[in-house]
Amino acid sequence: MVRLRRTGFAVKPAKGSAVLFFSLHPNATLDTDSLHGSCPVIEGEKWSATKWIHVRSYSYRRRSAGKCEDEHVLCSSWAAAGECAKNPGYMVGTSDSPPGFCRKSCNVCTKSTSSSPTLLRRPKGS
């Protein structure tokens, strides 16, 4: 059985049938009414076969280390909460990961002598 989170509507598929959830409206906007969760198994077994269809590329987007900008609207609040130090891979990037998403809010880049910003690493403990 599957229950839709927002409406509380539950679906119990018959043997040999399937339940499909479409996460997007026809205009490609997110359909939050499609959020669903699995009900616990009371009797018998539950089988599931998931097929993901991605609208956009599922790979990392290449970001320039030269740009000093935040790429998420919550970067400043995350930085204020200490996430620059707690989650450096995402926030600022590491030597073995792409540049982070919140470099500006984490104060890890500055204008170099050229016109393009340069990514800098903050000293540990600062």
What SS3 class is residue 23?
coil
Higher local confidence (pLDDT), 70 or 48: 70
- Beta strands 109-111 and 117-119 are antiparallel
Global pTM reads 0.41
Q: What's the rounded mean pLDDT across residues 108-125?
A: 49
* The residue type at 44: G
Higher local confidence (pLDDT), 102 or 25: 102
Q: What is the pLDDT of residues 67-106, one digit of tens each?
A: 788 988 999 999 999 999 999 988 998 877 778 889 999 9
Token pair of 94 as six digits: 């590491």
Q: Residue 65's pLDDT band (boundaries 50, 70, 90)?
A: low
> For residues 62 and 97, what is the distance between their CA atoms, to the nearest angstrom?
11
Q: What does 63-82 look like in DSSP terms, one character per residue?
A: --TT---BSSTTHHHHHHTT
